[in-house]
Structure 1
Amino acid sequence: MATKPAIRFTELPPEKLRWRCDPARIPYETTAQAEPIEGPVGQDRALRALRMGLELAAPGYNIFVCGLSGTSRGGMIQRLIEQLQPRTESGPDRCYVNNFKNPDRPRLLTLPRGQANNFRKDMQSGIDFLRRRIPQVFEGEPFQRQKGRIVDRYTLREKELMDDFTRRIAREQFALGHMQVGAVALPEIFPVLDGQMVPIEDIPKLVQEGKLENIAAEELERKYEQFRQEFTVVYRKTLTLSRELASELSYLEQEAASVLVDGFIEELKEKYTATNVAEYLEEVRHNILDNLDPLKEREDEEEPGPVPPSEALPKTSNPERDPFRVYGVNVLLGHNEQDASPVIFETTPTHANLFGTIQRSYDSRGVWSSDFMDLRAGSMLRADGGFLIMYALDALTEMGVWRTLKRTLNHAKLEIQPMELLFPFGASALKPEPIDLTVKVILIGDRNLYEVFYAHEEEFKKIFKVRVEFDEEMEMSDDVIRQYSGQLHKLCEDEGLCPFDRTAVAGMIEYGVRLAGRRNKVTSRFVDLADLAREACYVARQAGESPVTAAHLRIAREARTERHNLIETKIREMIAEGTLHLFRAILLRGRWR
């Protein structure tokens, strides 16, 4: 039976127990001479994946970033995106307006970039113009003259009907009067006896008193019933005349106001040529002309003066009482034409912050209501045409966020709705039109969280197809030394630290190699080295010296060790005192002895 050869251990010389960086390899006297560098270094693989994910516009190519460390990973990704400047299409402006046919379904208007705020201002100024000018038209002499002729004509026709009826009943000893019923005086037919109008209810009483014979009373009651039926017909004709008068006056008002309204609407249609805007403006035209009563009231044009203290109190706003609120424009997303594609880092990704919500307006009685003006946008909409960054763990743990995020990314549509659980007394009846979105979502998490998502969430792999993984180490080279120096310079600039000389830079690189655990590798987690740099600068300033040297760096590391090795110190004391005894084991010929 063949025996295995004995294991031969190569002796490790002491000089290889620690890798040292020759300060001569540092091309600068101090880091102040180095070129400042910001962002991760040695991450070409991750940056290529990030650029591909940013620029590929196909569905599902959202990004999951893992491997980054530090307290501002989102800010680092945000700066990387701004540096890469990926090619994107700018998103349009979005606003909600009233749906006059179905107020519970607010209408979405999509306008070219930079036009939404101007459209809102033009709508407001147009309504203000109509509120000033329409009352002047209605109070003008031409309109009043035409209105007077129409009213006179219908008044004459009504008078002829009533006079004819009055003459006919007068021949039978009846008259038309009024009977008071509460606060209302109603027309009534009265028999005339001895020149006096007598209510028909008093006829039986006159018979009992002997003032009227039964035959005459029965004749009066018969004629009364006949005249009541005839009066009903006449009264209906007068009501018909009243309706015709109101209709003709309404038509006259529409004709008079249409000149102003048509000019206002046509001017907006020429300026804003989108199809959905033209349809909305036509609805506005018809609604204004069909509801002219609020516009008949002249606005208060008194010059502002000192306000009495009793009138200076804040007033409760009730949107239901504002008849012109229906013509407002709620701009959820407005841009300037020169704005670049947005890069939004959402640090608090609650449901309302991400997807928007519907606010509630309360009146003086505490009754709430919501309309299209109460819609509020979230960061998902503000990132339209750009990028939205957030932490994956926050998206998973915030109530309702992950479910809504999946639905939004799957359908590329955003529906603004409040969280049902936040409204225990019933959700809003509003259902705004959904918004088509073009947004790239970037989640930041660790490798374990990515694996959990990938293994247990079926839709995750469909909507986050790009994995960007930042390596924790990189190959040691002269270029890496220059990058380390540049990052130290940037850190000193940002935080006002002392510059580092070449011996301190060499010491930082040695510490980076120690963290990587391999002689030919160095850590890319500069955030760990940044803490050591801050502590070394503190030591140098305590000593009143600058720049930071390798000696300061060594003291800082020793101080850090001292802050964390209290238990180790106690154990060493116990060993020295003989409280703890250690037994040495020897490996001899493959066996411990």
Structure 2
Amino acid sequence: MPETASPRRKVVPEELKSAESVEIGSVDFFIGGPENQKRFFDSIEFGLRRFGDEQCNIFVTGIDSPDALKIVGAHVADFVKKLGSNGISVFPEPQDYCYVYNFREPKAPKLVILPRGKGNAFKKAMNGFLEKVKDEISGVISNDLIASEYSRILGELNAWAEKHQEQIREEAERLGFIVDFNENTGVRITTVKRLEDGKLAAFKDNTELNEYLSKLSKNEKAELDNGRVYITERVKDYVQDRMQRFNDCNRQMKRFVAGQMALFCKSVFADFKKDFIEKHGNDAFSGISLFLKRLEKHTVGFYDALLPKNGNGENGEIPIPIRDPHIQWKVNVVVDNGATKDIPVVVEHNPTYGNLIGGLDSKLMFGGFAVTDHTHIRAGSIAKANGGCLVISLNDLASYPAALPALFDSIRHKSLGIKDMGSSAGYDSHLPLRPEPIPLNLRVVVCGPGLYWRILHGMAQDHRFDFIRFFEAKAEVLPFVEANSRNISVFASWIREFSRTKGLSSMDDSAVGRLIEESMRLAGSRSRLSTNVEAIGRIMIEASESKLASGDNVNQLSAGHIVRTLEKRFWRLSFIYEVIQRQIAEGQKIINIGGEKIGEINGLAVSDFGDISIGSPMRIAASVYPSAKPGMITIERESKLSGKIFDKADHTVREAIKARYARRAPLALGIGFAFEQSYSGIDGDSASLAEFFAIISAISEVPIRQSAAITGSMSLRGDVQPIGGVNEKVEGFFDVCKVMNKLDGNCGVVIPHQNADNLMLRDDVAEAVESGKFHVWPVKTIDEGAQILMGKFLGELDGRVIENLKEFARIAVFFSGDKKE
């Protein structure tokens, strides 16, 4: 009989010494470092070195921790630093991106690209320049030269007006009228009477006027009316001429002021140019020179917008929202790389459309309508990562339907158009702004499950969605590293550093060793360590908090504290597990632990509930009978409760039996096979060994030991093959034996020998195995399995199997012949 396997690997204190120092945020530790993850690191370097190739973005798989994006982003940044230290430059110099007013098309703001750190310098310079111009422009308007010219032009206009007014008065007096020119009340024409001395006198009232008019002859009245019409026309011509001359004077004055303003703007803009170049260089100025030329021309034509005006909201009034009168001067720095040391590496944890692409904000105006302009353009993480790397989760990206196509279009066209989400979806937008697109040159690093990679590759055949074509570099991270001396010592250092950084209770060597053992269990092998250190960190935090809550006065956490924490965590999640154990103990779910039975065996299954995986035994039964039409009926398959892998394993067992016995005896028998008290779906091939031995027992009529359970797969040739979930399966059967008081040294589990390295059993199970109260038998062949389960090697049972098969054949032939008669 095979010897009992070692239940778990124990980390001894000697393995924890001479550990190198490790930072909590160390990228190398989280994913194993270049020594353990060569394929991953090489793929990352491959993708980054080919920065100019738009198709060589990077797809990262195998990192499922919440800190995956941070880990990958940190490594990308480290690699860039490494390249820079070696004098290798594959990335362009980061730039700043600004939006300014478009004087030709205000709804299409212009993009200004400046060297790193010059965006805010440009904005600050423009704000200061605006204030300077506003301060000085009033002085330009009110200087002596302009005042003198204004006086001259106004004097000429007034002289002309006085001359023509006098002419009209003289003509009016000859015709019996007085014309009064008043700047406030206008022109008034009054009828008067001529005295005997030839002088004119006004009438006292309308009665006197009417008496005077009644004494005039018909010809005199006609002459008076014609005179009034003539004078009225003369006044109209004068007013029109005066208005025309006044407008001409205004235009003349404006031309003069514009000329003075042009000289002023030329001077101040030249000073600004000189000052800006001295501070920021020609490269920075070349990006803004065209904008400044158009702004200078605009300022000359609309200088009045810069003149002081009465304040909005002064004297206790409620301010009314108005458009910025100086919007043409404003600079919106959407991307500022002034603080970026190497290249921008942006990790986007919430890739909504707005966070990824950017958007257009708006300002609510009086009346309830919204307006926007270039100062309300907001850049997203794509623009911020331009010239560097954008790290993003495909899981997160898939949560926002509009974001994924937008990212794809940006990568494909190497251009980013910032607009609101409604416009991108084809709807009319209330914010019809079309900013100039930002040219893109960046590397996108997408983290996602390997399944997504396969799905996207399948979709790549559709030219409308060839997203994956732009991700030529695939970087796959293994979820584990080798449990060698270096990695164990590094892990030990990380545990101690994590404890210190988080303010947890310190841990002795036994606690550190026990945590490393738990990492091996998470990795599914005693020769590996899981890279999921977050899970280990949560155990440490809980153990420390439990110690404080219990009032334990010991200075350090020991292995006992870790074990109790693990037991408590399992207890909180294991309600269903306890229900199953109680059903077995009460006999509601029938599991036989003692004695022997023909055609009945204890198999083992694992159920995954997401937060916990539990193992439990299942009673597997087989029956055989003579049949002229041999075949095998599996109740689960017939009931459509089985999966495809289970069906494959079922066929494999049937063909394995044929391969072993069909040459020596006819297989004239029917086989029935069932998982008793199983009412839900079942899949996998780990019950194929149990199925095989149950059928052999039924045919040979040799009973199977019920104190043992078995798990394992088998090949068509009868080779024993490994399975998954071995720890949970062994522990599940152990707990059944414990609850039924059968830990007497007879119970145990048969497992494939390949799974012995996967054993990292619970402490109580390991203790029972080491004390001989429970057994775990690794088997290499089905012969060894038969010896444990049936007390004989399979070769010794073959004789009885063949003899019974022949008897079945005789019975089948007999009844077949009887039927024909």
Match of 2:129 among 126, 135, 139: 126
Residue aligning to 2:496: 489
Residue aligning to 1:329: 331
User: What's the offset of the Cα at 1:28?
Assistant: 0.6
User: What's the offset of the Cα at 1:299?
Assistant: 9.4
Q: Does 1:44 align with 2:38?
A: yes
Match of 1:245 among 249, 255, 262: 249
User: Which one-letter code corresponds to 1:556 in the other structure?
Assistant: T
Matching of residues 162-177 of structure 1 within 5 Å: 162-164=165-167, 167-168=170-171, 171-173=174-176, 176-177=179-180
User: Which one-letter code corresponds to 1:143 in the other structure?
Assistant: I
User: Which one-letter code corresponds to 1:88 in the other structure?
Assistant: F
Matching of residues 430-441 of structure 1 within 5 Å: 430-441=433-444
C-alpha separation between the residues in 2 aligned to 1:331 and 1:380? 15
- 1:345-390 deviations in Å (ceiling 9; x for gaps): 2222222222222222223443332222222222322222222223
C-alpha separation between the residues in 2 aligned to 1:582 and 1:486? 46
Residue aligning to 2:197: none
C-alpha separation between the residues in 1 aligned to 2:525 and 2:190? 118
Alpha carbons of structure 1 residues 68 and 169: separation in structure 2 relative to 1, 3 Å = same
CA RMSD after TM alignment: 3.9
User: Which one-letter code corresponds to 1:444 in the other structure?
Assistant: C
C-alpha separation between the residues in 1 aligned to 2:316 and 2:697? 91
Q: Does 1:517 align with 2:524?
A: yes
- Name the structure, 1 or 2, with higher relative contact order (CA <8 Å, separation 6+): 1
Matching of residues 262-341 of structure 1 within 5 Å: 262-270=266-274, 271-272=276-277, 273=282, 274-297=285-308, 316=319, 318-320=321-323, 322-336=324-338, 339-341=341-343
C-alpha separation between the residues in 1 aligned to 2:447 and 2:319? 45
User: Which one-letter code corresponds to 2:50 in the other structure?
Assistant: L
- 1:437-463 deviations in Å (ceiling 9; x for gaps): 333333322223333333336231133
Residue aligning to 1:26: 15
TM-score (norm 2): 0.60
* Residue segments in structure 2 that go unaligned for 5+ positions in a row: 82-89, 195-199, 602-691, 699-821
User: What's the offset of the Cα at 1:187?
Assistant: 4.7
Residue aligning to 2:151: 148
C-alpha separation between the residues in 1 aligned to 2:334 and 2:12? 58
Matching of residues 390-429 of structure 1 within 5 Å: 390-420=392-422, 426-429=429-432
Match of 2:5 among 11, 15, 23: 15
Matching of residues 568-587 of structure 1 within 5 Å: 568-583=577-592, 585=600
Q: Aligned with 1:433: secondary structure?
A: coil
User: What's the offset of the Cα at 1:410?
Assistant: 1.9
- Contact 1:25 1:478 (C-alpha < 8 Å) held by counterparts: no
User: Which one-letter code corresponds to 1:23 in the other structure?
Assistant: V
Residue aligning to 1:470: 477
Residue aligning to 1:254: 258
User: Which one-letter code corresponds to 1:446 in the other structure?
Assistant: P
Alpha carbons of structure 1 residues 238 and 592: separation in structure 2 relative to 1, 3 Å = farther
C-alpha separation between the residues in 2 aligned to 1:158 and 1:228? 17
User: What's the offset of the Cα at 1:68?
Assistant: 0.8
User: What's the offset of the Cα at 1:26?
Assistant: 0.6
> Percent of aligned positions with the same letter in both sequences?
20
C-alpha separation between the residues in 1 aligned to 2:120 and 2:694? 85
User: Which one-letter code corresponds to 2:342 in the other structure?
Assistant: A
* Residue segments in structure 1 that go unaligned for 5+ positions in a row: 1-10, 301-309
Alpha carbons of structure 1 residues 430 and 575: separation in structure 2 relative to 1, 3 Å = closer
Q: Does 1:94 align with 2:97?
A: yes
Residue aligning to 2:76: 81
C-alpha separation between the residues in 1 aligned to 2:4 and 2:415? 65
- 1:134-156 deviations in Å (ceiling 9; x for gaps): 22333343432232112212332
Q: Aligned with 2:31: secondary structure?
A: coil
- Contact 1:36 1:489 (C-alpha < 8 Å) held by counterparts: no
Residue aligning to 1:563: 572
- Contact 1:95 1:110 (C-alpha < 8 Å) held by counterparts: yes
- Contact 2:99 2:331 (C-alpha < 8 Å) held by counterparts: yes
C-alpha separation between the residues in 1 aligned to 2:547 and 2:182? 105
Q: Aligned with 1:14: secondary structure?
A: coil
Alpha carbons of structure 1 residues 538 and 190: separation in structure 2 relative to 1, 3 Å = closer
User: Which one-letter code corresponds to 1:78 in the other structure?
Assistant: G
- Contact 2:306 2:326 (C-alpha < 8 Å) held by counterparts: no
User: Which one-letter code corresponds to 2:64 in the other structure?
Assistant: S
User: What's the offset of the Cα at 1:329?
Assistant: 1.8
C-alpha separation between the residues in 2 aligned to 1:313 and 1:552? 69
- Contact 2:9 2:526 (C-alpha < 8 Å) held by counterparts: no
User: Which one-letter code corresponds to 1:14 in the other structure?
Assistant: T
C-alpha separation between the residues in 2 aligned to 1:348 and 1:168? 87
C-alpha separation between the residues in 2 aligned to 1:207 and 1:406? 96
- Contact 2:129 2:272 (C-alpha < 8 Å) held by counterparts: no
- Contact 1:269 1:277 (C-alpha < 8 Å) held by counterparts: no
User: What's the offset of the Cα at 1:34?
Assistant: 5.0
Question: More displaced, 381-390 or 242-251?
Answer: 381-390
User: Which one-letter code corresponds to 2:293 in the other structure?
Assistant: E
User: Which one-letter code corresponds to 2:5 in the other structure?
Assistant: E
User: What's the offset of the Cα at 1:265?
Assistant: 0.8
State how many pairs are aligned: 562
C-alpha separation between the residues in 2 aligned to 1:77 and 1:338? 18
Alpha carbons of structure 1 residues 540 and 131: separation in structure 2 relative to 1, 3 Å = closer
User: Which one-letter code corresponds to 2:368 in the other structure?
Assistant: G
Q: Aligned with 1:341: secondary structure?
A: coil
Residue aligning to 2:385: 383
